[in-house]
Chains A and B, each alone.
Chain A
Amino acid sequence: MATVDQTGIPNRLTRPRQAASDVPEWISGIPVSWWVVGVALLFMPVVAGNFVLFQIFGWAFILGMIALSLMFLGGYGGMVSLAQMSIAGLAGYMVAILGPSGVQTISLFWPWWLYIPVAILIAALFATLIGALAVRTEGIYTIMITLAIAAAFFYFTRQNYTIFNGYTGFANVVPPELFGINWRRPIPFYYLTLACAAISFAVVVYVSRSPFGLALQGVRDNPRRMAALGFNVFAHRVFAYTFASIIAAVAGILMVWQNAQIAPGTAGLPAVIDILVIAIVGGLKRPIGPFIGAFIYVILRTYAPDILLALNLPGDRFKLLIGLGFLAVVYWSPDGVLGLWEKWRSHRQTRGDPLTGQGGKS
């Protein structure tokens, strides 16, 4: 993990600016393939059905954002936090508690412009506390302490009835009807999640080359040197938790709207582990990795039972398929699917026939 994000975008902050061009460097530097993916996503509703938009893409964007918050901490900060799902869950709970839900006795029915920022703020505070605890540890101990917090959050929400409504949780948690649009309908929801995911992604890419992001990567590679350059390593790490939590919190709010309900299981241990699997399968090195991982996960989650049934195997064994996929990725490429892709590409570049571009096998 000693390398810095080189997204393939030549947006290194020091590259000389192109003269006589009004297009900012960061726009002109985006490769063509990204524009293609962007346009394809933008026009997806033309070809895709409601189920695909809402259940596949919507869900993948949400999980991708939560995994992105893990990628930011893990990839740039060298801190693997298992509490990101709990942070998302807390934001979701806050929306249900402060805003409208089917549980009239608990929900406060605040207006949306109040409960959304407050929910994000509370989640960010929670994450800052987690960070302050977790950054005192390293490696496996960070994982353990954040896992412990995630487990505690799950059991607390399940046993607390006065605030979190215990085992049942909250149902009928719906988004506000802003601009007269029902945001839970597939096409609006698709664009809502797409916008949130794209903004989170762009912000992470941008921040990774800002002083804060560069310093975070410096702290990851060499905390001692960073302190000897005048950086407060502890504060930098804690703030990374705060920053990442905002992405997770937004995703948590979208998640509760998508399901229209939230219960302890939403942020239960299997969900917590899923986020780690998604981030690792996609690749922790780059911000696009978590979204690739989330997409693969959602596809498997949705279609694995059909595949298994087609093979005359019991359909409820879909987790076996996900587990095997996870094993395969980790075994062949510790950098996830992105790492596989890079290997394949560099293989082609070095071994491929220079005339035809074909081949790749020596």
Chain B
Amino acid sequence: MSVTAQPASRGPLFAGHSKLSDRIGEPLLRVLTGLAALAGVGVLVWIAYTVFNQASPAISRFGFGFLGTSAWDPVHLRFGAVDFIFGTLESSVLALLISAPMSVAIAVFLTELAPRVARRPTQILVELLAAIPSVILGLWGIIVLGPFLNNTLEPALNGAFGWIPLFSGSASPYGMLSAAIILTIMTVPIVSSITREIFDTTPSEFKEGAYALGATRWEMVRMVVIPYAGPGIVGAVILGLGRALGEAIAVTQVIGNTAGIHASLFPPSGTLAAQIASEYQGATSNLQVASLVYLAAILLVITVIANAAARLIVSRVTAGREQWAP
């Protein structure tokens, strides 16, 4: 990058270029690209400013107590975020608890186990899962998954593990479990593709060394690949978490959209993003609108922290290694 412009040593080859066009073109491109970069950063700041500004009536009314209050009553104007914060964290963490091990397994399969010819097609298929629009996953969740949970899976879980509070109570086609499963499907491709990329960067000398010492394939993966990729996997999981925390549409379609904290996974619940999607347009008072935007502000802070952490970890791990994949 630090190649400074050489003193003009124009050969005849470039004699045709007028100095005028250089004098305009060079700064023009510099300014245009600089402005674009400024716009890219600026819009982030602008979003944050606008959201906090519009939430300010609720912020000044409820203060930080909003974060710990369990209430959503538009008639008596009592609002609080704790139910939705809890729902957001619960659905996303559950989703990642399933999708993280699954993703690591997929990455192992793709880098170590699959026959060479199968690797690329499988990888593409898994990554295409990330391209399915969330509204379609939600549609599938409403029409296919919901009835299955209500009629089959939840009664079965309740029958077998009903003594665990998580699986207590009666089944419901809309609820936390449904949301968690949809979010699992959404996060698997994200986490697995990053994990696979990091696995791919494991130096082959390390792997060969392990094999030379007589390790089986699993021992090699467990003692070389996973420790080497560890921080990167954490980063990938947090990145998936960021996606799950912010998903509004698919979650609002399947979660049932209610306030309340339940021990069981079956009853309908709510998340920050889903609550905004379901109530923002129909809010009955200015305070309710501001409270919904307050939820948006909380969501923004949570996802920015998650993404920043993930990016810092991933970039530290992959620093210096070429990585470009869509």
Indicate, yes or no, whether A interacts with B.
no
Give B residues with C-beta under 8 Å from A. none
Give A residues with C-beta under 8 Å from B. none
